[in-house]
A and B are shown apart, each in its own frame.
Chain A
Amino acid sequence: MEEPTFVQVQDLHKSFGANHVLRGVNLAVGRAESLVILGGSGAGKSVFLSHLIGLMQADRGSVTIDGQNWAELDRGQTYDLRTRFGMSFQEGALFDSMTVYDNIAFPLRRQTSKMGKGEIKDRVAECLETVGMPGIAQLMPSELSGGMRRRVGFARAIALKPEILLFDEPTTGLDPIMTTVLGEVIIQMRERLQATTITITHDISSAKMIANRVAMMFKGELVHQAPRDAFFNCDDPIVRQFVDGKSQGPATEALIKR
């Protein structure tokens, strides 16, 4: 028998009061796949990622990771499953009472199999090197620029070399060079570690670079999913408007209303 799809989302609904944000999301992502989710702001992308990692519970429908449904896990199982994830937040979400070093070391120290002090130090240095910021380990987050904070958040997400990585707009506000560098890191994570990556981005060129598959979130649904080349060549009017960045089209109304 075939093993279940690694990430399986079925008919996911979520409302905040009267605001029906997710309206039936369906998604299947296999191991070592790289999915990019595009979509206008307020479409529900960040809320969707929160469901994937079990930070929010579905009103209706299910989210299953490697055969385990978040809704059926108890507290211990929830945290166990989360150790297989890495996530970088749109807001950065660095611990502002800790140095950059302690931020990146945090997931390393929290895991059950203890790493030695030296190992942690090496891994933190390696992660900072990866995001192009060696030697800032002793700074506090408040001493960093927005783009630097985002990169530290990215470094923290990959520190544990997790099986599945969620990136919420990792490159928004970064210069084009850094955007490409982080794109390459995402590709490496997939190719070397066989990690599954799900990335939210507005940046069409980095989407083209890192994706195996692209999905478009629109009004709380994933309206169009396709392999990368098929996606960017399709003629779905919503996708076309977004990819070509046109101000007139079917997606405009939905964006302006919010």
Chain B
Amino acid sequence: MALAAKKPAAGTIAAGKPAAQKALARRSEKAGAKTIAEFSKAEELAAYREMLAIRRFEEKAGQMYGMGLIGGFCHLYIGQEAVVVGMQLALQPGDQVITGYRDHGHMLACGMDPKGVMAELTGRRGGYSKGKGGSMHMFSVEKGFFGGHGIVGAQVSLGTGLAFADAYRQNGNVCLTYFGDGAANQGQVYESFNMAELWKLPVVYIIENNKYAMGTAVSRASAQTDFSRRGASFNIPGEQVDGMDVRAVKAAGERAVEFARSGKGPYILEMLTYRYRGHSMSDPAKYRSKEEVQKMRTEHDPIEQVRNRLLEKGWATEDDLKAIDAEIRETMNAAADFASSDPEPDVSELYTDILR
């Protein structure tokens, strides 16, 4: 298969074995073991803002769901914010992102407008899919965001295909393909892994291990619970990353993206993370203890970590951070107002967009 790329991009290294094997060894460096690259003041502040924006958006969405303004399923990303925010820092313009249904955070991180995202959640014409897709199905080609997919695992093959297109076009781009610990057990994941390594596709697989797939703890569904090793039989290197620490995510993201972009093939990042809320709005989450959730919240919260560093280093005062929060709340309130007042799609839209 000659998907050769110019630049040092995907495909040129036909015999990528040694490189891959070397990188495979990296997986033994467990999360937290390596020294974390510190963030500058500007980076800390930017990460704080981005993560807080996602959290406030999600809280607002949860509230709007409670008021009946959002229907169907609504999967909140609260707790996992550091993953998308850190990964996004490793990307270049033209790179692509694809994920499942827990997608609001990914969209905001890609730079999509909270108004358009929230209006899609309420099913209004100003939504990213004109109100026709809803929470789980949203896209922005302009921002490189390819969805938003409701079928667990399907995005893994699709993301591999996006990377195939990058290699085919030799454009030097990389596709970030996100999926969950539960999705990691779908068969098409491994069919994709095989092709991606065989053809050295520029794809980074990010497994967001938030410990549960709906009500099933990882150990009850997975024979191999170290997801960073899930590519081992295909010679795909992998790493476990502290997904609650945005600095660790960014550092690992840069390594993985650089690997994929330089034509060495796919890379797996297992993000150790946690979702605070239930699987969706109607999940009471009785399968885990309150203490477990509380412990994550108080000891590992991705936003609190940045906040504490900012305060400790004197890079921001309580008042500075309060002002940022107020500003973000205002943005999200405006998004919510727009999403509640924007009209529903015109009825003629029922029959549009079926074929081109």
Co-assembled chains A and B: no
